[in-house]
Amino acid sequence: MARATDARRLALALLGERRRRDARARDLLRASSELDALTERDRAFATRLVLGVTAAEGALDHFLDGHLRRGARLEPRVRDALRLSSFELLYLDGRADVCVSQGVELVRGVAPRAAGLANAVLRRVAESDVPMLEAARERLAEGSFGASELALVGALPTWLCERALASLGAADAAAWARGALEPAGAWVAGFKRGQTPFESLLRDAGCAPEEGPLPGSYLLGAPACLAPSGLVERVNVIPCDLAAQEVARAAAPAPGERVLEVGQGRGTKTLLLEGAACAEGGPCEIVAVEVSPRKSELAARRMEAAGISGHVRCVCADGRRLGDDLGLFDLVFLDAPCTGTGTLARHPEIAWSLAPDAARELATLQRELLGSAASRVAPGGRLVYATCSILAEEDERVVESLLASPLGAAFELVSSGRTVVRPGVDTHFHAELRRRA
């Protein structure tokens, strides 16, 4: 009788904790001392299982429920174990005999009487669901597919795949679905502090940096070394995905320009915008608006740590109600709240927590925020609208709505499109408009 491996047992424990606490998978992984105690290989495998099962949860339940008697209910810990082993079978292409055996042992460890059921269910997954998934992958490769095949390949809700096809077209939707379960990678951007190159700081900290496709971007081969290095706290480097870096570069303010950022969050794009201006010769002057007091306070502390608080004013306010006292700006940058469907691998809880009407509800808020932001643009100034959504109702349709309004008549669309660094992982939409002088 094979004993379940340490990596799988820890992954199962973390999945159970996530379910009980309704916690974020990445938060649990960061806080797990048991994970740190594993070998590097086992740590990577356990992390892959936790994030993958979380991202594919609804699809895995659909597979499992198809092999149970009608009305049968699985004890939650048993379902956790079956999800884990089914994910390994389906999406990690694990050997059927190993996955079934390990799955049975995981179930035996939490509910011994359910071991026989686990064996039967996992064998059915291997015999019927694995070939069905392979057929869906082949149809994607051939280009003859619909939303149901996208849903299978990406372990995604069918309704979301239907929207993706309508918004992206077949080729880009296929790439997005394939990327939904891919590891996100630990990307950082450099923030110039002193004369020591970013890469040297990262290498000295043991982070094993690899230069990325954008200036100042790095992929960390040993991301666990970043936290204890102090580089993030001192704002030598900024953890952020590549698409966010690209959007900030596209919006890059000139030195000395007055900039209004709406939707500051924790200040990541504030730092990127200021860094882009400094790369051109000097700082810009930013007023950054955030509705959450906690996030606004955190952002202000980051600006202080970065040494740019003299050029950034953090304001806690509702971006839909920007006061006239703020004045007008050369650049208004709106990082709008959205479904996050362009960052599924980075945020594995998103796909199966979204309601079908979520994007439409957010679009109402996005239109209000964009209208408010547009009112703060000086004649001849720029307005940049950005989301990390792939859905047209949050992206193109919002911009079109502004342009069709009386306020929008004063603007012309300069550019619009998606920054796709890696589909499903790093995808942002941005549009640049200019107010006529």
Pick from 29, 24, 26, 27: nearest CA to 10: 29
Architecture of the structural domain at 6-144: Orthogonal Bundle (1.10)
CB-CB neighbours of 44 under 10 Å: 13
Q: Give the pairing of strands 285-290 and 258-262.
A: parallel
- The stretch 349-368 carries a mean pLDDT of 95
Q: What is the number of other CB atoms lying within 10 angstroms of the CB of residue 379?
A: 10
Judge whether 311 and 283 are in contact, CB under 8 Å: yes
At residue 54, the pLDDT reads 98
Q: Which CATH code fits 242-435?
A: 3.40.50.150
H or E stretch at 217: strand 217-220
The residue ranges of every structural domain in the chain are 6-144, 185-240, 242-435
What does the pLDDT look like over 1-44, one tens digit per residue? 579 999 999 999 999 999 999 999 999 998 999 998 999 899 99
Rg value, the chain, Cα? 24
Could you read off the pLDDT of 74-131 as tens digits, one per residue? 999 999 999 999 999 999 999 999 999 999 999 999 999 999 999 999 999 999 999 9
**346 Cβ partners below 8 Å, 6+ apart?**
184, 241, 425, 426
Phi, psi of 357 (to 5 degrees): -95, 5
- The rounded distance, in Å, linking the Cα atoms of 192 and 189 is 10
Q: What is the pLDDT of residue 194?
A: 56
Task: Give the pTM.
Answer: 0.92
Are domains 6-144 and 242-435 of this chain identical in fold? no
Can you give 308-347 as a three-state secondary structure string? CCCCEEEEECCCCCCCHHHCCEEEEEEECCCCCCCCCCCC
pLDDT attached to residue 193? 59
Q: Give 196: exposed, middle or buried? Use CB within 10 Å, 0-12, 13-18, 19+.
A: exposed
Residue 200 DSSP SS3: helix
Active-site residue list? 388
DSSP-derived secondary structure for 107-150: HHHH-GGGHHHHHHHHHHIIIIIHHHHHHHHHHHHHT---HHHH
Location of structure tokens 């069918």: 158
CA-nearest of 61, 130, 140, 66 to 93 is 130
- Residues across the chain: 437
Of 335, 330, 364, the closest CA to residue 434 belongs to 330
Answer whether residue 354 shows pLDDT above 90.
Answer: yes
The pLDDT value given to residue 424: 63
What does pLDDT average to over the chain? 94
Of 137 and 216, the structure prediction assigns the larger pLDDT to 137
pLDDT at position 304, please? 96
- pLDDT more than 70, % of the chain: 98
- The answer to whether residue 301 scores a pLDDT higher than 80 is yes
Looking at beta carbons, which pairs linking 75-80 to residues 24 or more positions away fall under 8 Å?
75/110, 75/111, 75/114, 76/16, 76/19, 77/16, 77/110, 77/111, 78/107, 78/110, 78/111, 78/114, 78/117, 78/118, 80/12, 80/15, 80/16, 80/19, 80/110
